[in-house]
Amino acid sequence: MTHSLIPTWRAGAGNGRLELDLGPAAVDLPEGTRLCLTSQLYPLSGDDIRGGTLAVADGSYLEFVLEPGATCVSVGDLFFSPRHVGEGPASAWLALPDGHVQVLACASMRRDPELAIPAAPVPVPEPFSGPRCTPWPNGMALSGLQARPAVDLSAAGAALDRLRWVLGEIGKTAGRLQEPGGLVLEPRADPSLPPEAYRLEIGTERIALAHGEKGLFPALVTLAQMLEGCTHGFGFPAAGSVIEDAPAYGWRGMHLDCARHFFTVSEIERLLAHMAWLKLNRFHWHLTDDEAWRAEIPSLPQLTGVGAQRGFGRPLTAQLGDGPEGHVGAYSTADMARIVATAANLGIAVMPEIDLPGHSTALLRAMPELVDGQEMPRSYASVQNFFNNSLNPAMPGALETVGAILDDLLAVFPGAEVHLGGDELPARAWATSPVALAAAGERPVLDLQKDFFRRLQARLAAEGRRIALWDEQGRVRSAEPEGALIFCWQDVEVAEKLAEGGYRLVLCPAQATYLDIAESPHWEAAGSGWAGHTSLADSYAFAPEAAVPAARRGQIEGVQACLWTEQVRSWPDLEALAFPRLAAVAETGWTKASQKDFARFIALQA
């Protein structure tokens, strides 16, 4: 008989209850049947469950042994009150006593009572008659507008080929770019200009282009955007117009989590094309987490051999919408080198992230010899419900293992920064580990992370690289400010304290730049709600220069959008959450605050 799962969250005392309804047919299921599911909403304990017993809790993966005759499992003591439908069960199946598995049709989580929220007003674009360009240039003197002119951009050479590739990847057309008799592009390098700066002068027969070392491609993108805009009713600058442009910030990033869900090389290249179109120049590639280890490390093949494969009955359990067959995927060294090369052709540097010492479940299950066998099992948990998930720096071989990982990664990634994570280390990590306690001595055991990161910082510095870390490590000063880059994700307030401590910063506050946060408070809105909701206007309004005192603003290297993929399982999911908010963050990174205009931005997205 076919079964299904209908989950309902009922508001009530505490964080309410999650009802898992299997329907009346479940009354005949054999004794010992287990209900298996993945859900970001989970119980803190098994003490308040009716209709079954919690047998396994591992991240988003939950197993309940059904009571005989039970047709519903009611779960209390929940970790949080959900704000959106996607935070509940995403997949489910029955594990029968005979070893067979029956996949369930998992309905979207209902809310009881339903939440009535008035629809937010949709921004209505005001008429705009200028050229179409996002991010908006920092200097534009228009003599007027004209219809789309014929152009000949052939003098751009290989850069024009890269532009055509970008247009093809993102599905846009700027028309013919090499038309006989058209405005002839005349590019010339100008060493007096900043690296990404350019100056366009529109004439009657030619377009004069002066550019810095890296400014040719951004200038071509500006021209292509304005030409493409002509097909949507926007104008092109008339003869005599001048665009003088350079970015507000040197770091304009996009982060993609490929650990929770795997994206193919071609999908990542498509994202890089979108980034180039928006003049973003840093790709932060999150390659490891509790849920998977995606980066091939030739000297440690077990990391992907075990850590890139999850599913029912595997060392890594199914997670975040997986069925019992699980989710498999890893990037070979050739794959990663291809991404680095594609990005470099577009003026984008790639920063890999290996998230340590927390978020290390995949690493530890692939290399159990790095676990202190005397540590009390399930003695601490992460906010994502993974137990004992942190690499113990005091374990023999721990630092050597990370060193071997870095050796292999540095051979593939030539960029100046390597991100080593450092976020969300549980407060009781290693508190019951005799090895860690002995190494810490009289100090708090969590101080081991400081020793760990400082040694890794020195190792990277010896290779001419800079350590990058999430803001928690700046707060506890796990890295020397000289040679460190801190990513401020929790809030903008922490940026001022870290700047005062001498750190250089990239600002990526969840409340403005996390693209996986839902855009509205509505129950049906895609995305998560732990940081509230972030509308397009919220993303655009983010003002990095206001985060620190004027005297410290030079320590802000830039801004970054982040996309975590707990609920992003496909390219369409990515598109739905990332755009157009990614364009808003891109404009904040490129366009000076004095030149930003939300009404214009909205009009240009139409």
Domain ranges of the chain: 4-112, 140-245, 251-474+482-488+568-578
Structure tokens at 58: 């591992």
Q: Does domain 140-245 have CATH number 3.30.230.70?
A: no
* Alpha-carbon radius of gyration of the chain: 26
**Of 169, 186, 424, 545, which is the active-site residue?**
424
As a whole number of angstroms, the distance between CA 474 and CA 497 comes to 9
Residue 324 and residue 311 in contact, taking contact as beta carbons nearer than 8 Å: yes
Q: For 366-421, write each residue's pLDDT tens digit.
A: 999 999 999 999 999 999 999 999 999 999 999 999 999 999 999 999 999 999 99
Structure tokens at 478: 């796990």
Nearest partner of 219 among 170, 178, 279, judged by Cα: 279
Residue 289 and residue 316 in contact, taking contact as beta carbons nearer than 8 Å: no
Task: Collect the ranges in the chain with pLDDT lower than 50.
Answer: none
Strand partners, 208: 186, 201
Q: For the domain covering 4-112, report its CATH number.
A: 2.60.40.290
Q: For 192-215, write each residue's pLDDT tens digit.
A: 999 999 999 999 999 999 999 999
As a whole number of angstroms, the distance between CA 567 and CA 574 comes to 9
Burial code of 331-357, b = ≥16 C-beta within 10 A, e = fewer? beeebbebbbebbebbbbbbbbbbbbb
Q: What is the pLDDT of residue 126?
A: 80
Residue 583 and residue 544 in contact, taking contact as beta carbons nearer than 8 Å: no
Q: What is the pLDDT of residue 1?
A: 61
Phi and psi angles of residue 489, each rounded to the nearest 5 degrees, phi first? -110, -25
As a whole number of angstroms, the distance between CA 505 and CA 27 comes to 57
Nearest partner of 100 among 28, 30, 5, judged by Cα: 30
**Four-way CATH pick for 251-474+482-488+568-578: 3.40.50.1980, 3.30.450.40, 3.20.20.80, 3.40.1010.20:** 3.20.20.80
The reply to whether 424 belongs to the active site is: yes
Structure tokens at 63: 């197993």
Strands 72-75 and 49-50: antiparallel
Structure tokens at 406: 């870095």
Q: What is the pLDDT of residue 295?
A: 99
Q: How far is CA 76 from the centre of its chain?
A: 31
Q: For 349-380, write each residue's pLDDT tens digit.
A: 999 999 999 999 999 999 999 999 999 999 99
Residue 218 and residue 123 in contact, taking contact as beta carbons nearer than 8 Å: no
